Amino acid sequence: QVELAESGGGSVQAGGSLRLSCAASGVTSSSVCMGWLRQAPGKEREGVATIDSDGTTSYADSVKGRFTISKDNAKNTLYLQMNSLKPEDTAMYHCAVDLRGYCFLHDLDYWGKGTLVTISS
For 70-79, write each residue's pLDDT tens digit.
Answer: 999 999 999 9
H helix count then E strand count, the chain? 0, 11
Cβ-Cβ contacts under 8 Å for 73 (sequence gap 6 or more): 28, 29, 30
Instruction: Give me the count of residues in the chain.
Output: 121
* Sign for the pseudo-dihedral over CA of 29, 24, 118, 47: positive
For 72-112, write each residue's pLDDT tens digit.
Answer: 999 999 999 999 999 999 999 999 999 999 999 999 999 99
> How high is the pLDDT of residue 25?
96
For 7-66, write each residue's pLDDT tens digit.
Answer: 999 999 999 999 999 999 999 989 999 999 999 999 999 999 999 999 999 999 999 999
What residues does 67 pair with on adjacent strands?
Answer: 82
pLDDT tier at 117 (50, 70, 90 boundaries)?
very high
Whether the Cβ atoms of residue 68 and residue 81 lie closer than 8 Å to each other: yes
The secondary structure of 73-120, three-state, reads CCCCEEEEEECCCCHHHCEEEEEEEECCCCCECCECCEECCCEEEEEE
